[in-house]
Amino acid sequence: MINNKEKNAQLIKTEAKRLGFLSCGISKAEFLEVEAPRLEKWLKNNAHGEMKYMENHFDKRLDPTKLVDDSKSVISLLLNYYPSEVQKDATAPKLSKYAYGNDYHHVIKTKLKELTHFIQEEIGEVHGRAFVDSAPVLDKAWAAKSGLGWIGKHSNLLTQQVGSFYFIAELIIDLDLQYDSITTDHCGTCTACIDACPTQAIVEPYVVDGSKCISYFTIELKDQLPTEMKGQFDDWMFGCDVCQDVCPWNKFSKPHKEPLFNPHPELLDMTKKDWEEITEDVFKKVFQKSAVKRTKFSGLERNIKFLKE
């Protein structure tokens, strides 16, 4: 006999698949006991650098019931962004694959709205909030708790047969559902990501010093880039994929099927020279709907010059 919790969980997962999500897992909305001391230590070590927002809402980051009143379930969703093609000029400054297409925040928010609407139509009066990497929610911890993968040594979520090139989002709702069980860690003795990190940002297995990460420097840091980092960026001008590119589990990555994640037609053809001579007009055209707009033209120009010097 299928109970309501199981039936509703199945309904939600089927609809998530229909909306294009790679997978969907569900866990109980409760305090993240294991993550609490880890997050505290990470912040104490100043591993967040200038990302002061990481210090805010400490209690909300660890307890979804403080974010959503009477919340019972955290629905975690993965959306693939692995591209079918990458930048053609191997000598050109590099862009993280997640930023090739339209800004993922908007793409995923639309899908989450549809999923919420579906839940309310099919199940009844359910309240909650959708989160896409823009609120104090520990995405990776919830995805792991929901059985969607394990946190790898590079601190990204990893899934067998799929790898790690996907976005993570959540719906936190006031509905009791059947919960999934966590999966096991399959990193084994592999240290590929630790060995390959150009700035040694993975300071120990499963711990990344965010203030040493190329993504931090090229996206989050608003000041001048530190001169001691010259020559260490491995040609990355926005983000960095090194730890994911070398991960053996990403041999299983398959191209996404989301048209909105396809790059602007000119993006992949741009040569090293094109990037070094990029104008604000070209920036606006190529990155019109992209997450790259976060750095603004001046930020991207700063990063490209830093690689050149």
205-251 pLDDT, tens digit per residue, is 999 999 999 999 999 999 899 999 999 999 999 999 999 999 999 99
Find the catalytic residue in 63, 133, 174, 245: 133
4-22 pLDDT, tens digit per residue, is 999 999 999 999 999 999 9
More confident residue, 241 or 56: 241
Label residues 249-288 b or e (16+ Cβ within 10 Å = b): bbeebeebebeebbbbeebbebebeebeebeeeebeebbe
Mean pLDDT of the chain: 93
User: Could you tell me the pLDDT band of residue 2, with boundaries at 50, 70 and 90?
Assistant: low
Report pLDDT for 96. 98
Kindly state the helix (H) or strand (E) to which residue 207 belongs, with its residue range: strand 207-208
Residue whose entry in the numeric block shows the structure tokens 């800004």: 103
Q: Reply yes or no on whether 180 is catalytic.
A: no
Report pLDDT for 1. 44
162-174 pLDDT, tens digit per residue, is 999 999 999 999 9
How many Cα atoms sit within 13 Å of 91 on the Cβ side?
6
Distance of CA 275 to CAs 92, 189, 281, Å?
7, 39, 13
251-292 pLDDT, tens digit per residue, is 999 999 999 999 998 999 999 999 999 999 999 999 999 999
Residue whose entry in the numeric block shows the structure tokens 């860690």: 185
d(CA 67, CA 11): 25
Q: Has residue 82 got a pLDDT over 80?
A: yes
More confident residue, 135 or 94: 94
User: Could you tell me the pLDDT band of residue 299, with boundaries at 50, 70 and 90?
Assistant: very high
